[in-house]
């Protein structure tokens, strides 16, 4: 399944709109980052190849998505679309893929302070670059345990998730862009019946594992070279 087909399967033929929030949740090693990477590939692909030709800010917390891995997925996307007509030469596809990935700003974060600084500056960055249409975070819950020893007060996983989610949503509303993030599903529910306001999630992509098999929104899936396949 190409990223264009995945995008259409998840969001419908029109895709997701401005100022919407997309959540990709699931347990560890369930393919969350791979799904995010493939959706990003569709968003940066040129119009001529069925993509959206967006510029994207990727706040990289888990560091699972690299320029090299994204380029590989984008190239596969371009090649699959090209089969519908006369495909460009392999060298040309590689160059186009590199140009697409160049529209992704990789913002590597290694601490919560890095994340806060990055999120603080993004609204100003989007004013300078109006081509940015998406802010993506992989993985929203990455630094929860890293910061645990430094916290002065107890912060539940659920409250931490809600705070991060609200912060991203607020930035997306201010900058008039979409938001997409991955999160460990163990953060999504409160064990203590906490009533905490959260942002409205417009699209939910739920990854799961059952007896060693992966599923996306309850449909069995597999990955081959970073490309998702939905099993019928």
pLDDT band at 1 (very low <50, low <70, confident <90, very high): low
Whether the pLDDT of residue 85 is over 70: the answer is no
pLDDT (0 to 100) of residue 35: 94
Contacts 24+ apart (CB under 8 A), 124-133: 125/57, 126/57, 126/175, 126/176, 126/177, 127/175, 129/55, 131/54, 131/55, 131/103, 132/54, 132/55, 132/56, 132/57, 132/175, 132/177, 133/18, 133/43, 133/52, 133/54, 133/55, 133/56, 133/177, 133/178
List pLDDT tens digits, range 92-109: 999 999 999 999 999 999
SS3 track for the chain? CCHHHHHHHHHCCCCCCCCCEEEEEECCCCCHHHHHHHHHHHHHCCHHHCCCCCEEEEEECCCCCCHHHHHHHHHHHHHHHHCCCCCCCHHHHHHHHHHHHCCEEEEECCCHHHHHHHHHHHHHHHHHCCCEEEEEEECCCCCCCCCHHHCCCCCCHHHHHHHHHHHHHHHHHHHCCEEEEEEEHHHCCCCCCCCCCCCCCCEEEEEEEECCEEEECCEEEEEECCEEEECC
pLDDT (0 to 100) of residue 84: 61
Whether the pLDDT of residue 31 is over 70: the answer is yes
Q: Which CATH class is domain 3-230?
A: alpha beta
For the chain, give every domain's residue range: 3-230
- Rounded average pLDDT over 113-138: 90
Weakest-pLDDT range from 61-70, 77-86, 191-200: 77-86
How many Cα atoms occupy the beta-carbon half-sphere of 111 within 13 Å? 4
Weakest-pLDDT range from 78-82, 99-103, 165-169: 78-82
Mean pLDDT of the chain: 89
Whether the pLDDT of residue 230 is over 80: the answer is no
Distance between CA atoms of residues 104 and 42, nearest Å: 12
List pLDDT tens digits, range 193-220: 888 888 999 999 999 998 888 999 988 9
pLDDT band at 19 (very low <50, low <70, confident <90, very high): confident
- Rounded average pLDDT over 141-153: 83
């Amino acid at each position: 399944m190409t990223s264009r087909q995945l995008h259409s399967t998840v969001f419908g033929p029109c895709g997701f709109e401005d100022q919407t929030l997309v959540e990709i949740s699931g347990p560890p090693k369930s393919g969350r980052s791979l799904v995010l990477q493939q959706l990003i590939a569709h968003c940066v692909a040129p119009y001529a190849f069925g993509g959206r030709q967006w510029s994207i800010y990727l706040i990289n917390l888990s560091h699972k998505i690299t320029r090299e891995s994204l380029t590989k997925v984008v190239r596969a996307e371009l090649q699959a679309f090209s089969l519908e007509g006369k495909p460009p030469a392999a060298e040309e596809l590689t160059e186009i893929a590199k140009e697409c990935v160049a529209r992704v700003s990789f913002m590597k974060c290694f601490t919560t302070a890095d994340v806060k600084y990055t999120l603080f500056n993004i609204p100003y960055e989007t004013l300078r670059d109006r081509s940015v249409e998406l802010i993506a975070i992989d993985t929203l819950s990455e630094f929860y345990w890293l910061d645990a020893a430094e916290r002065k007060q107890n912060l539940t996983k659920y409250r931490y998730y809600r705070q991060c989610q609200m912060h991203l949503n607020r930035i997306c509303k201010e900058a008039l862009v979409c938001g997409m993030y991955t999160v460990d599903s163990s953060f999504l529910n409160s064990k203590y019946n906490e009533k905490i306001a959260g942002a409205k999630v417009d699209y939910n992509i739920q990854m799961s594992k059952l007896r060693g098999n992966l599923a996306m929104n309850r449909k069995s899936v597999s990955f081959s070279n970073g490309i998702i396949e939905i099993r019928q």
